[in-house]
């Protein structure tokens, strides 16, 4: 390196961010570790998945071992006001929100990135499994991580050119087992640490319990009906259900029934067969195009409708007001309002948006 670049690494106390920091130190960057202190429920602070004293202790130990500065950024208020409220409001509206995408949009690659740049950093680095490249036109590209099983480009599809130009994903070039091997090579105590799977602000991983305590009005019982209006039973509160859910409905039927719509105004849960659930079309809003330039014509692509879903071939049609219509070659059963619809061309992530309510009823 002809010039020593400064990088702030978002450290969580986990193996991925630890290896990201270690690799950047090895490559000669001027590295600063930074951990966000997020909001947690007061009654179970000790069990919060993201910012426990143990997690903070591990992050400090890594920073000390790597001989880099380490800071804690108080993010509680902005996280509570934006992400936690987004999660609660989404369920109030009868959708299944994706708080990880919203966190990347507003917290990690806005609030945290701005704080990193305020320290005269050239980049913010994270432990995400994704890659950044530059095309022949000089524009930054978001590409899938090489480990397809760990790829996180889906939740990073909210990023644009301004964010990608100041971001590094050091572990995106490796498979997870190799990342653990690298951690062991550096002697990092997180080498064998278990990955966290739950939403970071849920103390026990139980979002229904969280909603009962923080938005009890959403747990009002109501009726379960078919499309024709026939009543089958009573639900325990709309927030206990999501589109495509089969288990736990509490109704009997000669054929399997699934949640096909959630009507918050009427406090009604609509169920139907797998054929009724399937749809070939969705509409997405708040669409972000990574290149910064919305396509002008419909085009063929692959689209993921959930983080763990397989990309499905489709026709993507850009619409006014940052929206898009996606028409799949074959019907999909789990198109869920509130989740992301993310567009790919091979391993290139083109962008994505938030699936709106009409998705469940377009055919």
Give catalytic residue positions: 103, 200
Q: Cβ neighbours of residue 35 under 8 Å, at least 6 residues apart?
A: 10, 11, 12, 13, 51, 55, 56, 59, 70, 71, 72, 73
Counting Cα atoms < 13 Å in the Cβ hemisphere of 305 gives 28
First to last CA, the chain: 55
**Dist CA 114 CA 120 (whole Å):** 10
Question: What stretches of the chain show up as alpha helix (H) in DSSP?
Answer: 15-26, 53-66, 76-79, 85-92, 99-103, 113-118, 153-156, 161-164, 176-185, 207-214, 274-277
Counting Cα atoms < 13 Å in the Cβ hemisphere of 130 gives 21
Hey, what are 325's tokens? 């219509």
């Amino acid at each position: 390196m002809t010039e020593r670049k400064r990088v702030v690494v978002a450290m969580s106390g986990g193996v991925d961010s630890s290896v990201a920091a270690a690799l950047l130190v090895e490559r000669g960057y001027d590295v600063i570790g930074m951990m966000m202190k997020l909001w947690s429920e007061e009654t179970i602070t000790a069990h919060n998945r993201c910012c426990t004293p143990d997690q903070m202790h591990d992050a400090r130990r890594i920073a000390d071992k790597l001989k880099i500065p380490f800071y804690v950024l108080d993010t509680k208020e902005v996280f509570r006001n934006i992400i936690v409220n987004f999660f609660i409001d989404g369920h109030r509206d009868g959708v299944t929100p994706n708080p990880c995408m919203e966190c990347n949009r507003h917290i990690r690659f806005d609030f945290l990135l701005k704080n990193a740049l305020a320290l005269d950093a050239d980049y913010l680095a994270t432990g995400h499994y994704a890659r950044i490249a530059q095309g022949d036109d000089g524009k930054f590209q978001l590409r899938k991580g090489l480990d397809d099983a760990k790829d996180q480009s889906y939740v990073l599809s909210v990023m644009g050119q301004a964010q990608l130009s100041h971001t590094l994903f050091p572990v995106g070039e490796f498979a997870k087992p190799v990342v653990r091997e690298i951690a062991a090579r550096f002697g990092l105590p997180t080498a064998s640490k278990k990955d966290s799977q739950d939403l970071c602000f849920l103390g026990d991983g139980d979002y229904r319990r969280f909603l009962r305590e923080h938005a009890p009005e959403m747990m009002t019982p109501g009726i379960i009906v078919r499309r024709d209006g026939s009543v089958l039973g009573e639900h325990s509160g709309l927030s206990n259900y999501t589109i495509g859910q089969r288990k736990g409905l509490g109704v009997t039927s000669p054929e399997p029934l699934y949640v096909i719509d959630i009507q918050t105004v009427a406090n009604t849960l609509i169920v139907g067969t797998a054929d009724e659930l399937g749809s070939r079309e969705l509409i997405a809003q708040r669409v972000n195009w990574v290149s910064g330039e919305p396509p002008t014509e419909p085009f063929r692509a692959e689209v993921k409708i959930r983080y763990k879903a397989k990309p499905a071939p489709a026709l993507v049609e850009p619409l006014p007001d940052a929206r898009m219509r996606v028409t799949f070659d074959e019907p999909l059963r789990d198109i869920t309002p509130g989740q992301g619809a993310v567009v790919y061309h091979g391993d290139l992530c083109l962008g994505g948006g938030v699936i709106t309510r009409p998705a469940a009823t377009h055919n």
